[in-house]
Amino acid sequence: MAGVRLDKPWRALTAANVAGLAGELGVYQLADGEGTVIRIGYAGGRSLFGLRSELQAALAAGGGASQFRTEVTAGYMSRYDELLMVHVADFGSLPEGNADDARRRLGRLTPG
């Protein structure tokens, strides 16, 4: 399954980098300094300014994230679920910041 993982380069989670994002729908990953994904999220129709709003909230909340990467997509819910499934396939569990999603009914992926 080539292309299933979000493998875009990491960007520093700073106010300037987040302010430069467009107000588009999509998914994002937050990581610590070593590149360990600590949260997967999405900016959907209820996100006032899309990815920018969601990442501004993440920046304000703290939580140990120092990096982010995004993917613009109108199919943000399907892609969000896909990224969660890939993480579970790779690491055996959801990222720590997605503990509330444990009740979410996810399928299984076997990424190559």
Identify whether 99 is part of a domain.
Answer: no
The answer as to whether 110 is a domain residue is no
Is the dihedral angle over the CA atoms 25, 27, 32, 34 positive or is it negative? Answer: negative
Q: What share of the chain is helix, strand, coil (3-state, %, to 5)?
A: 35, 20, 45
What's the total number of domains in the chain?
Answer: 1
Asked, for residue 29, whether it belongs to a domain, the answer is: yes
Q: What is the mean pLDDT of residues 67-79?
A: 95
What's the pLDDT score for residue 80?
A: 94
pLDDT band at residue 47, thresholds of 50, 70 and 90? confident
Looking up residue 43, the CATH number of its domain turns out to be 3.40.1440.10
Q: Looking at the domain assignment, is residue 82 inside a domain? A: yes
Residue 5 lies in a domain: no
Band of pLDDT at residue 99, cut at 50, 70 and 90: confident
Consecutive H or E run containing 28 = strand 26-31
Across the range 72-79, mean pLDDT stands at 94
pLDDT of the residue at 1? 41
Span 104-111, average pLDDT: 71
Domain ranges, residue 71: 11-94
**Does 57 reside within a domain?**
yes
Q: Grade residue 101 by pLDDT with cuts at 50, 70 and 90.
A: confident
